[in-house]
Structure 1
């Protein structure tokens, strides 16, 4: 059974060979963009596999079958998680954080479904208060992506605000998802807080020997768009539906705002494990154009 470091080392060697091969055949900028997309796809493989399962099951599942679709999705998600562990694609350290995503996500699901924000119309044995247990894996997919993308891109976050402040912000965002049903919705204040707190924070990431950066709030916004796309896949397949929505209607763009905020909760949760990626001072990185052979010396 390959260990997680061995698996990561093989992945990096493959990336370097593939990158070198493309850079000899494509313009440098195009090759770097292709590598960026491929690495992003590899980081998001758990979520992509889960969405494929949702799409296929919605096409083939019959109400007369002895196993409910939601229960089959739960078994499929468990299989994916075990597979990731056995192949070394995720470590037990990361799985502990992903389990925390399960817990916080399932609690939110139970509350939101009971409040009428959305619903799961299908039947299932493994349901708690009308929430199928597989739904926790959708939050785990976000955690899996974040943990993998930090590793695969060797990400650094700098200059990073005081960690305790980010914990307070994440807690405030999470509480607001519940509290706004009863008191004033503070999401506009929270939007502003994310920008003010992380305005100077750059995400540094590596593609081969080259380093790039992106403002953290911009990365959160772009990620929220792709999660909005995933939301539409969930609703068009009738896996879940928002209040007053039919499966042929797009999810409101306002949900991008919800995901933007929830991504900060997810990110801070992942940093509980990846504290070494956080740098309090700005980074000064000297760019190189080393080949894979040089990198392996």
Structure 2
């Protein structure tokens, strides 16, 4: 009898833990979905304009208008703050500069016509990078992110600059991304990200979070190229899967994005403390 009661309570306890885990996973997914709202609109717009031609303007121009309206809508309804808009604008400019250089070097192209093109790059492309910043800023706020064992400002800033510059310099010099990835592991090996889900706190190794975000952005890149957001040289004749080696590029881009957002958050926090 005692064994039966013990088994009953054990099953109840295990079942309760499973239900709580499912509930927490649902809340985490919901917060992630809200944080990805900008990205969802981008993918939906790419898909719709790919199969339903819009009148009066080229497709790339319509995408720019849609993304600008979406940005304004999110600001109007408080889904993004003014500080987040500043960060997103910074990423838009950083991404646009990288796009102009990469298109010039033939890494990829935007084959369709548009009035809003600069040096072969449509202005809407900056929103691809801005959407990463939007996700990071919103997820940071919604999940109440805290960083543990965060490296010194004088280590983080040069590392972020080196990663970003390597996207340019590897066309003229050796590609040092492997060395940079090793350096990232060394610098952030002891760093953790703490986040909150439905009142409970969890933690994850920061390097693992980089890898997960980079992998999902690579998946998003395959979706974007499928809907004609841009195309790589091997996709000119027909769409094909983006090479898995691009994961390392997106991983480094995510790291740069995270370092910039984290640094700005810390600088702002110190200003408020002072």
The alignment's TM-score, normalised by the length of structure 1, stands at 0.82
Aligned partner of 1:274 among 261, 265, 274: 265
- Give runs of ≥4 in structure 1 deviating > 6 Å: 23-26, 276-279
Q: Tell me the secondary structure at the aligned position of residue 180 of structure 2.
A: helix
1:46·1:141 contact (CA, 8 Å) conserved in 2? yes
1:94-116: per-residue Cα shift (whole Å, max 9, x none)? 11111110111000000000000
CA distance in 2, matches of 1:244, 1:47: 25
Deviates more, 1:270-279 or 1:214-223: 270-279
2:153·2:263 contact (CA, 8 Å) conserved in 1? no
Task: Kindly report which structure 2 residues correspond to 1:115-126, keeping only aligned pairs within 5 A, or say none.
Answer: 115-126=105-116
Task: Kindly report which structure 2 residues correspond to 1:1-297, keeping only aligned pairs within 5 A, or say none.
Answer: 27-61=19-53, 65-246=55-236, 247-275=238-266
Q: Tell me the secondary structure at the aligned position of residue 264 of structure 2.
A: coil
CA distance in 2, matches of 1:128, 1:66: 20
Task: Provide structure 1 residue ranges, at least 5 long, that are not aligned to the other structure.
Answer: 1-22, 280-297
2:234·2:240 contact (CA, 8 Å) conserved in 1? no
Indicate the RMSD between aligned Cα atoms, in angstroms. 2.0
CA distance in 1, matches of 2:269, 2:225: 36
The alignment's TM-score, normalised by the length of structure 2, stands at 0.89
CA distance in 1, matches of 2:101, 2:262: 26
Pick the structure with more helix per residue. Answer: 2
Distance 1:69 1:214, change over 3 A: same
- The structure, 1 or 2, with the larger RCO (C-alpha pairs under 8 Å, 6+ apart) is 1
2:193·2:204 contact (CA, 8 Å) conserved in 1? yes
CA distance in 1, matches of 2:80, 2:231: 31
1:210-237: per-residue Cα shift (whole Å, max 9, x none)? 1111111111111111111111111111
1:94·1:273 contact (CA, 8 Å) conserved in 2? no
* Structure of higher CA gyration radius: 2
1:11 is matched with: none
CA distance in 2, matches of 1:209, 1:260: 30
1:53-110: per-residue Cα shift (whole Å, max 9, x none)? 1111111126xx3210000000000001101111111111111111110111000000
Count of residues in correspondence between the two structures: 255
